[in-house]
């Protein structure tokens, strides 16, 4: 039952993230990517909590989550910088307007 709740939450985050990516707003697309990353983090934490040795949860899963938050922050920084520049060039944050390059 516990596994269903935890993994179900992770899958829910994954689906919400994928839904957000399919939306036109560039900010929302970026938030969708973060949500999928957090679905991964969530799963790592759950599986780490399942492996208890000598009274401690597995440190590997926990440390991986810390590092993935850092890389996720880098991706968001680059993404926001690109969105600012896209707003300067196209005067909108609607991803549908970025269609100069086709075929």
Q: Kindly determine how many residues on this chain lie close enough to bind other proteins according to the rule CB under 8 A.
A: 44
Q: How far apart are CA 58 and CA 79, in angstroms?
A: 33
Instruction: Tell which residue, 65, 67, 88, 85, has the closest CA to residue 77.
Output: 85
**Binding test (CB under 8 A) with other proteins, winner from 82, 92, 94, 96:** 82
Strand partners, 70: none
Give min distance, CB of 47 to other proteins, in A.
4
- Tell me the three state secondary structure of residue 103: coil
Cα–Cα distance, 11 to 43 (Å, whole number):
9
Task: Annotate each residue in 16-55 with x if it binds other proteins (CB under 8 A) or - if it does not, as one string.
Answer: -x---x----x--xx--x--xx-xxx-xx-xxx-xx----
CB 43 within 8 A of CB 10: yes
Binding site residues, other proteins, CB under 8 A: 10, 14, 17, 21, 26, 29-30, 33, 36-37, 39-41, 43-44, 46-48, 50-51, 58-61, 64, 67-68, 71-72, 74-75, 78-79, 82-83, 85-86, 89-90, 95, 98, 100-101, 103
């Amino acid at each position: 039952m516990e596994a269903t709740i935890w993994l179900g939450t992770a899958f829910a985050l994954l689906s919400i993230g994928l839904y957000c990516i399919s939306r036109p707003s560039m900010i929302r697309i970026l938030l969708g990517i973060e949500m999928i990353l957090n679905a991964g983090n969530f799963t790592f934490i759950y599986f780490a909590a399942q492996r208890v040795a000598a009274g401690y949860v597995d440190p590997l899963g926990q440390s991986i989550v810390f590092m993935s938050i850092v890389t996720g922050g880098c991706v968001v920084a680059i993404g926001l910088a690109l969105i600012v520049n896209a707003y300067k060039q196209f005067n909108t944050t609607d991803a549908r307007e970025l269609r100069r390059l086709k075929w």
